[in-house]
Structure formats: structure tokens, C-alpha cells
């Protein structure tokens, strides 16, 4: 009875053939296309938004997004001095969100961030940003001292604490950012595929067709859930980047 | 040496099996160079666009709106303050007008009271004069009536007394008694 249920291998779920340039460093596949659309769509939205005193339509969406990032991410995590980093944080937010949301868009149904490349790039950007900002605002020695030698710790314990702080600040922060985004989106993608495959299989297996509505309801519910996850992951990634920048701005 | 021999033998036995031994399957979790390449280009492009092209006009519009709202609020506050001051002026003027009206009403009331007292006094004087005149007339008329009635009453009284006493009573003798009686009855 369950012979019809053949779950695809993980390679089939996340690896896509190239549209062109196969075998080269510029091979352009679905993930690359989604990455490009994550540039084109926000650009189009910003360009379509009119600049009127009473906002309507697209202008509401664009200004709402900018205001959300400014108030809920930049100002809440860094404060007024962080407003100069709004372009960076907004870019991260938009790139993550539009990279994620293709998970629920028919014909695509694949989040770009379920592949490790984009989360890794974003994590490197965040890492470079908070290290550069930290060195710029505190100086190299000051930044290293505040990052590796937390105040209030007995000097003897620095032998133990400093390596931990080094790992935590310079390796685990970017690694955590990348893996959190990648793992969440991959897990969501696998969940949707699982229920999709289950629905198809149940539709062809007549004795079990009775539970098809439940499986279908789960698929619909999880699709809505993944829309929320896409937004939350964009918010979390941009917020953590802002928090790391704030921690680099001043000695603690 | 042994591994080399084994691989050579496998290669001789069949190409497919040999390929499986030599090639290694890609890890689906690890990032690929093309995806890193396109992802980096996409992110850098979006960042440049957001920083230099897309965000500044949106922020300017939002700032202009915030300034407009702030200036409108300031203007509304000024207008409210001005309206409060005007209302206060109107209230003061109303109070003045009310005080003036009260004064006018009091003056009119006092004047009316004086007029009333004067008119009533004049009327009372007139009535008193009329009453005195009437009393004088009544007194005159009574005296005239008494003067006319006295001789007749004396005659009648003398006649009645003559009949009662069976002797003649002189009217002239009865006249003083009758006069005294009539005068005492007033």
C-alpha cells in the first residue's frame, strides 16, 4: 500500500540544475534566479512607490517596511546612533525575506536560504560589519579588549574565558546566524515537501484517501506557517546583526 | 599498491563501477561556488541600490511628512491658543455687557419706582381733594336738608304732642327742642 510513497532524496529537494553555464563558477540555477529576484522585486517595489504625503498602495508597503526596520530593529537594538546602518540592516531584511518567501510561491517552492550559500554570505556580511564597526569605534586594541576580556572577571580566569569569548564572538556568532537561517528554511521546505508528497500519495492510495483532507489541511496550514517563518527569520537575522553592531559600538 | 591494483581491476571490469569509486557525491548542505557567486552579486547589488537609490527618497518623503505633521500640529496648537484667547476676550466682553445691562435695568427700575411713587402720590392727593370736596358738599347738603326739615318736624312734633296731651302746643316753643334733637342725631 505504501509502495507508492517514495520520498525524494535530499539532493532532489535542494539541488537544481543550471539554466546556463553548467559546470562553471557562474552556473545559473533556481537558487541564483531567486537571489536575483530578491534584488529585482524590492527594487521594483521601491521604484513603484510614489513619494506622496498621503501614502497609498505600494507606498504603504515600502514605507511600512522601512519604518518597521528603523523602529523595531535599528532603533530598538542600537538606538538613534544606529540609523546610519539602516541601509545595511534593511538590505539584509529584504534579501532574507524575499529569499525565503519563494518557498510558498508556486513554480518556485524553494527558499534560496535553504541552501547554505546565501546564509553564509549574509553571515560574512554581518561578521565583517560588526568587526569593522567595532574597530572603527573603539580601535583595534579596544575592540579586542572589550570582546575578549570581559570586565569583572578575575584575571586568572581569562585563560579560560578569553578563548571562549573568541569562539563566541568571532566564530559562533556568524556560524549561528547562518545555520539558524539555513536550518529553519531547510526544515520548513522539507516539511512542505513531506506533506505535499503525502497528499499526492494518499490521493492515489484509495483505502487511505479518507485521511487526505487532514494531510491537505496540514499542508495549507504549514504553508501559512512558512510565510510567518519567512518573515520571522528575516526579522531575527536583521535584529541579531543590529545587536552585534550595537555590542561592537561601545566597550562593555 | 594494493589500492591501485584494485582500482585498475575495477576500471577494467566496468566503467560505471569505476566511476562510482573515483567520484565523490556532493554534500547537499555545503554551499556551491556558483550559488555563492550569484548570491554575493545579488546582495552587493541590492545593498548598493538600497543605500544610494532606493532608500534616500523614501526616507526623505517620510521625513517631509513628519515635518509637515509637526508643523501642522504646531499650527493647530497656535490656533487653539488663539481661539482660547479670543474666547476669553468674548467672555470678558460678555461680562462687561452683562454688568452694563444690570446697571441699566437697575436705573430703569429705580426710575420706574420713582415715577410710580410720584403718580401714586399725585393720585392720592387728587383723591383726597375730591374726597374733601365731596364731604364738604355732603355736609352742605345735610345742613340744607336739616334746615328745610326742621320747621316741618317741629310742626309735626307740636301737632303730635297736642294730640297726645289734648292741649295746644306752640310750634315756636317746640322749635328749640326739635333743633336740639336733630343736631344730636348727627
Supply the pLDDT for residue A43: 97
**Distant-in-sequence, close-in-space partners of A250: CB < 8 Å, separation ≥ 6:** A137, A138, A146
φ and ψ at residue A28, rounded to 5 degrees: -105, 105
Arithmetic mean of pLDDT over chain A: 92
Enumerate long-range contacts of B173-178, CB under 8 Å, 24 or more apart: B175/B150, B175/B151, B178/B150, B178/B153, B178/B154
Q: Is the pLDDT of residue B19 over 70?
A: no
Largest CA distance in chain B: 211
CA distances for B87 relative to B1, B72, B75, angstroms: 108, 22, 18
ipTM: 0.93
Arithmetic mean of pLDDT over chain B: 84
Write out pLDDT tens, residues A95-149: 999 999 999 999 999 999 999 999 999 999 999 999 999 999 999 999 999 999 9
Predicted confidence band of residue A4 (pLDDT cuts 50, 70, 90):
low
Q: Is the dihedral of CA B86, B87, B90, B96 positive or negative?
A: negative
Return the domain boundaries, chain A.
Answer: 17-249
Suggest the residue from B35, B49, B55, B69 to mutate for an interface test with chain A (most A CBs closer than 10 A). B35
Residue range B65-76: mean pLDDT, rounded: 94
Burial of A231 (0-12, 13-18, 19+ CB in 10 A): middle
- Within 8 A of A32 by CB-CB distance, chain B residues are 34-35, 38-39, 42
Q: Rounded distance, CA A179 to CA A120, Å?
A: 8
Q: Rounded distance, CA B34 to CA A15, Å?
A: 12
Q: Is A185 on the interface with B (CB under 8 A)?
A: no
Contact residues, A window 40-79, toward B, CB-based 8 Å cutoff:
42-43, 46-47, 49, 51-53, 62-63, 66-67
Q: Is the pLDDT of residue A46 over 80?
A: yes
Instruction: Give the closest-approach CA distance of A32 to chain B in angstroms.
Output: 6
Q: How is B69-130 classified by DSSP, letter by letter?
A: HHHHHHHHHHHHHHHHHHHHHHHHHHHHHHHHHHHHHHHHHHHHHHHHHHHHHHHHHHHHHH
Nearest Cβ partner for B58 among A38, A43, A63: A63
Amino acid at each position: 500500500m505504501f509502495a507508492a510513497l517514495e520520498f525524494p532524496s535530499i539532493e532532489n529537494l535542494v539541488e537544481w540544475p543550471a539554466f546556463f553555464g553548467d559546470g562553471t563558477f557562474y552556473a545559473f540555477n533556481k537558487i541564483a534566479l531567486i537571489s536575483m529576484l530578491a534584488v529585482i522585486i524590492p527594487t521594483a517595489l521601491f521604484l513603484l512607490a510614489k513619494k506622496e504625503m498621503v501614502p497609498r498602495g505600494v507606498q504603504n508597503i515600502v514605507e511600512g517596511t522601512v519604518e518597521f526596520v528603523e523602529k523595531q530593529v535599528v532603533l530598538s537594538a542600537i538606538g538613534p546612533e544606529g540609523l546610519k546602518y539602516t541601509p545595511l540592516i534593511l538590505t539584509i531584511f529584504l534579501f532574507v525575506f524575499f529569499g525565503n518567501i519563494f518557498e510558498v510561491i508556486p513554480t518556485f517552492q524553494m527558499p534560496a536560504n535553504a541552501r547554505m550559500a546565501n546564509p553564509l554570505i549574509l553571515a560574512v556580511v554581518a561578521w565583517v560589519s560588526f568587526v569593522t564597526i567595532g574597530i572603527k569605534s573603539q580601535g583595534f586594541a579596544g575592540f579586542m579588549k572589550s570582546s575578549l576580556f570581559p570586565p569583572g572577571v578575575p584575571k586568572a580566569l581569562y585563560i579560560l574565558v578569553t578563548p571562549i569569548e573568541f569562539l563566541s564572538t568571532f566564530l559562533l556568532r556568524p556560524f549561528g546566524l547562518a545555520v539558524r537561517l539555513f536550518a529553519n528554511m531547510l526544515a520548513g521546505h522539507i516539511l512542505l515537501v513531506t506533506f505535499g508528497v503525502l497528499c499526492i500519495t494518499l490521493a492515489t492510495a484509495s483505502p487511505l484517501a479518507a485521511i487526505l483532507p487532514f494531510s491537505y489541511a496540514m499542508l495549507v496550514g504549514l504553508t501559512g506557517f512558512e510565510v510567518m517563518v519567512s518573515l520571522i527569520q528575516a526579522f531575527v537575522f536583521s535584529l541579531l546583526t543590529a545587536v552585534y553592531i550595537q555590542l561592537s559600538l561601545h566597550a562593555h | 599498491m594494493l589500492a591501485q591494483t584494485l582500482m585498475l581491476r575495477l576500471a577494467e571490469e566496468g566503467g560505471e563501477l569505476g566511476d562510482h569509486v573515483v567520484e565523490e557525491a556532493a554534500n547537499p548542505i555545503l554551499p556551491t561556488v556558483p550559488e555563492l557567486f550569484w548570491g554575493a552579486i545579488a546582495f552587493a547589488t541590492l545593498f548598493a541600490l538600497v543605500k544610494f537609490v532606493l532608500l534616500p527618497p523614501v526616507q526623505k518623503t517620510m521625513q517631509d511628512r513628519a515635518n509637515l505633521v509637526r508643523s501642522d500640529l504646531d499650527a493647530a496648537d497656535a490656533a487653539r491658543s488663539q481661539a482660547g484667547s479670543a474666547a476669553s476676550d468674548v467672555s470678558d466682553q460678555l461680562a462687561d455687557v452683562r454688568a452694563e445691562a444690570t446697571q441699566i435695568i437697575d436705573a430703569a427700575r429705580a426710575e420706574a419706582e420713582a415715577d410710580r411713587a410720584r403718580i401714586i402720590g399725585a393720585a392720592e392727593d387728587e383723591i383726597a381733594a375730591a374726597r374733601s370736596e365731596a364731604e364738604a358738599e355732603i355736609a352742605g347738603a345735610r345742613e340744607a336738608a336739616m334746615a328745610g326739615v326742621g320747621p316741618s318736624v317741629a310742626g309735626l312734633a307740636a301737632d303730635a304732642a297736642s294730640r297726645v296731651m289734648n292741649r295746644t302746643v306752640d310750634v315756636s316753643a317746640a322749635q328749640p327742642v326739635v333743633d336740639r334733637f336733630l343736631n344730636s342725631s348727627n
